[in-house]
Each structure stands twice: as structure tokens, then as C-alpha cells.
Amino acid sequence: MQGSPILRDRGGRVSKAVQIFSKVGEAIVKRNERLAFGAFEFDTVRSLLFRGGVPVALGRRGGALLAFMLKHRGEVLTKADLMDAAWPGLSVEEANLSVQISQLREVLGSGWITTLPRVGYRFRPAVESQRNRFVAPTVSIVPFADFETGAQAHADGFAEDLATALGRFRSLTVVGDEAAEAGYALQGSVRRIGECLRVNVRLIDRTGGAHLWAETADLAVDGARADWLVRRVAGSVDAAIQHAETSHSQARRPASTRPYDLYLRARSHLRSSEEGDNALAYGLLQQALEMEPENVHVLAAMVETLHHRDSVGWPSIGADDRGHARDLALRGLALGGDDAAAIGLFAEALFSAGEYDIARLVAERAVEINPGSSMALVCAGLGSLWLIDTDRAQDYNERAHALGVADPNQRFALNGMSAVQRRRGNYEVAAELARRALAAGPALSAAHWNLIASTVCLGRLDDARRQMTRYRALSPSATIATIRRGQRIVDERVRERFLGLLAEAGLPEA
């Protein structure tokens, strides 16, 4: 990549991307120094234990033992292994180990260290911690049926491809087709209809037997468009399961403080795109993050919450919402993993913070990890809009839109396509796409902006002003100044032309 414009600015200086890559690296090292478990964090470099951020007294031998146990958590550790870890090169009595284990149990509480008679010990979470753990819902894929048309190979192949595609979504877990613990089951069939193969797919909630979602599609016998259908089904299944999980949580565990239930309630609030719901979501996610500070799902939802507030110009929740979202994004990236939706949201926060080079690379990585994730695609599309790359923005948003109307992220894809068409001067098309985005999400601020701006460009100023009145009823604090602050478009001239259209429709400067 020598000489790449990504790495150097026009003056030949090292760009911010290199600096931010360095910061990400530092964040990775910093996070890897601390291992989190329950309410504790252990600094492996300094052998320091923290409970809720407060240091806990721990001797040198105890620190060495805990570091070794954390490194090999869940494994059977012999007494000899542990003594070598705490007293390397020394010959000591076994009773010394018993004393240190006893002291560790006093500090950590019961359940973390299990005694294995005549063998040694195992370090593992307590039963209570496991019960409150954030656990993704499970889905099994029942072998697809072939109605004696000779298409069984196609049926088996489609089910196998679908299992692979669903495995890319970290918001759920794919298990064996006969797994009794699976909460959801995906069933289907393939039959020959003339020169086509008709694929029927349905999602079943196994707790009550309800049909949650279904789709029928015809494919050519040669398999053309099969990849598209697999991605569409996988994305729709993921969205349907998330919606069902939220409904179950609200109906069965409305007052639960489990991290997973807090997260689900927060996601439900975020779907409205309204300022009050955004604030409620933030509070719920704060509680979840305190209990599971390294949960990538919670970190990503927190980043989404803060980025949304900042980008549409709502009043800040904290001292620096944009900076906090950026820090959380770097923290999430430092944890690693391959959750495409989360990585896409982290990229959005970096775009918003003006770290365009690294944000673009992170967004592209999210799409590569899971090209069937509508969230990864719309995040990459937004970043491309801010980088004034309309062709790439159109591609990302069209791909997200093709994944199906059942996906709640459709409103973002439609709005992104509207913004592209507005910039290209296709104002009627842009206005229609914005209206479709608002039909899916009536409070989506950016869709209101695109509809208003496109209507002004069409010369229908009275209509634009009526639309502005509706928008201001939803976001009374919005002004030209707040939107300017939240829209980090690389070319300020593009942003100012857009803001000028909103001002012409009646949005005040401040």
C-alpha cells in the first residue's frame, strides 16, 4: 500500500489513519492487560485485582495464582501446575497452596474456584453469574424437504448454505437440527416448478409453536441468485428472532435486570428514532454495560445511541457524546471478534469523530465479515455519503435494501438511497425514497431532511415548509447549527448547500 492516499494526506504527511491505528493498538494492549470476570477485573501485568474499578488487596502469590487460573479458565489445573505458577523454581509444601486458594476464595466469593479431589482445582464462573450471563438465542435448521422431485441435493445444499450464512450473525447461535435447547427452528422445502426450484422457508418459535416469518422464492435450476436468497433469508431470520426475543422479554421479564433483557429493552426503544426513547435506551445500556463491560453487543448499542444523538443534533447526554462514542468504539474493536453489525456501528462512531481513514477500513471489514448484515451495509453506506462517494453509498444501501422489507434497517437503506439521488439531482426519486423511509420509521430525522431538501429543489416551497413544521414537532431543538455540528461531511461545501435548503424551508440558524 506504499503511497496509498489512505495513509498520507495531500501534503505527504502521515494521515490520521496511522495515528488512529496506533491508538487502536494501544487500546488492544490496554484491554488485554485486564481480564474481566463477574464484577472483577484483573490487571495481568501488575497483578492487581479490581472490583467495580476499586483495587482489592491481593498478595503476590495470590496474584500469580489468579493470573494462571484466568489464563486457563475452565481447565483442570493440577496442584503441581499451580505451585509452579505461584512459586516458580521453589520447593514448597502443598499446604501453602491450600492457604492461598482459601484466601482467594475469601476475596472472590464462593463458586469461582472448584476443588477437584485428589486432582487439583478449576476456575470457572459461579452458577449465579452464569444464570445472569448475556446468552444469544439459539436456532436450529431442520433438514429441508424435497417433495420427491429429485431436488434433494438442492434442498440439502440450500440448508447448508443457510446455516453458514446464519453463523455469521453473532446475535444468535446456530445449533444442531435436533437440539432440544434451540428456541427457534428454521424449516423449509424445495420443489421443482417448471424450470425453476421453489424454495419455501419458515421460522418457528419452539416455545409456543408460532410461525414468526416465512418466505417463498423461485430460483433457476442452475442456482442463479441462490446467494442472494440465502443472504435475504438469513437477514430476515435474524431480524425476526430479535423482534421475538424483545417481545418475550417484555411479556415474561418486564422488570428483569439481566444484561440481555436490558439490552433488548434498549433496542426496542432505539427502533423509534425518537429523542426520548433514545435517552431511555442509553440508561438501560449503561446498566447492562456495568455488569458486562466487555460485551460487544452492549458496547455497539451504546455507540449507536450516542452516535444517533450526535449526528441529528439532539442535546448531549454527557459532556462529550461524540468522544464517548469514539472511545467505546475503540474499546469494542480492541476486544476483537467478528460481529459485523457491531463493527459497522463502531465505524459510524469513528466517522462521526472525523477519523475517516480508519472508519472506512473498519466499515469495509464489517461488510466483508458478513455481506448479509444490513446494519453493516447501511453503516458503510453512511460513511460513504460522508466521504462524498455516492457510487459506493448507492451500492451499499441497495444491497441492504435487497435483503428484504422485514428488516428494521430498511428505513436507513431507503434514506441512504434518497440522499444519493438528491445529490445526483434526481429530486423526485429522492423525495419518494425519503417518503418510503418515513413510512418505515416516521421519526427518522435524516429522512425528514432529505424529503424537505428535495421538495425545495423541486420548487415546492410551501410543501417543504409544511414538512418542516412536522419535523420540528418531532425535534423542536433542531437548528441549522445543531445539524451542522452533527454532520461530519468531508466536503463542507456539500454540507452547507444541504443546510441552505433546510434554512430555505424554515429551519432556524440557532
pLDDT tens for 416-471 read 999 999 999 999 999 999 999 999 999 999 999 999 999 999 999 999 999 999 99
Q: Residues 64, 65, 68, 69: is their CA dihedral positive or negative?
A: negative
Characterize the bridge pairing of strands 34-37 and 54-56.
unpaired
What's the rounded Cα separation, in Å, for the pair 306 and 323?
9
Amino acid 12: pLDDT:
45
What's the rounded Cα separation, in Å, for the pair 319 and 217?
50
Q: How far is CA 71 from the centre of its chain?
A: 27
What's the rounded Cα separation, in Å, for the pair 195 and 211?
29
Q: How far is CA 218 from the centre of its chain?
A: 32
φ, ψ of residue 317 to 5 degrees: the values are: -85, -40
Q: Which residues contact 51 (CB under 8 A, 6 or more apart)?
A: 39, 40
Q: For the chain, what is the radius of gyration of the CA atoms? A: 26
φ, ψ of residue 145 to 5 degrees: the values are: -85, 150
Q: Grid coordinates representing 377?
A: 451495509
Percent of the chain as helix, strand, coil, to the nearest 5 = 55, 15, 30
Angle of helix 79-86 relative to helix 60-71, nearest 10 degrees, comes to: 130
Q: Which residues contact 392 (CB under 8 A, 6 or more apart)?
A: 380, 381, 384
Amino acid 157: pLDDT:
82
Amino acid 70: pLDDT:
87
Amino acid 8: pLDDT:
40
In angstroms, the Cα distances linking 60 to 22, 56, 142, 163, 253 are 32, 13, 53, 48, 43
Q: Domains of the chain (ranges plus CATH)?
A: 39-124 (1.10.10.10), 138-230 (3.40.50.10070), 406-510 (1.25.40.10)
Q: Grid coordinates representing 10?
A: 495531500
What's the rounded Cα separation, in Å, for the pair 493 and 217?
45
Amino acid 169: pLDDT:
92
Q: Grid coordinates representing 337?
A: 471478534
Amino acid 34: pLDDT:
64
In angstroms, the Cα distances linking 396 to 363, 372, 375, 383 are 11, 11, 10, 10
| Residue with cell string 435487497 | 402
In angstroms, the Cα distances linking 49 to 103, 110, 391 are 13, 17, 51
Q: Which residues contact 88 (CB under 8 A, 6 or more apart)?
A: none
Amino acid symbol at 218:
D
Residue ranges for the chain with pLDDT beneath 50: 1-18, 20-32, 126-132
Collapsing DSSP to helix, strand or coil, 243 comes out as helix
Amino acid 35: pLDDT:
73
Collapsing DSSP to helix, strand or coil, 115 comes out as strand
Amino acid 151: pLDDT:
63
pLDDT, tens digit (0-9, with 9 covering 90-100), for 200-221: 999 999 887 889 999 998 888 7
Q: Residues 305, 310, 315, 316: is their CA dihedral positive or negative?
A: positive
Q: Give start and end residues of each alpha helix (H) in 353-409.
A: 356-369, 374-386, 390-401
CA dihedral 313, 448, 418, 340 (to 10 degrees): 50
Are 419 and 445 within 8 A, CB to CB?
no
What's the rounded Cα separation, in Å, for the pair 234 and 174?
11
Burial grade of 52 (CB within 10 A; 0-12, 13-18, 19 or more): exposed
Are 483 and 505 within 8 A, CB to CB?
no
Instruction: Name all contacts of 84-93 with Cβ < 8 Å and 24+ positions apart.
Output: 86/61, 87/61
Are 143 and 163 within 8 A, CB to CB?
no
Amino acid 1: pLDDT:
33
Question: Taking Cα atoms as reference points, which of 393, 386, 443 lies closest to residue 418?
Answer: 393
Write a three-state SS string for 315-344. Answer: CCCCCCHHHHHHHHHHHHHHCCCCCHHHHH
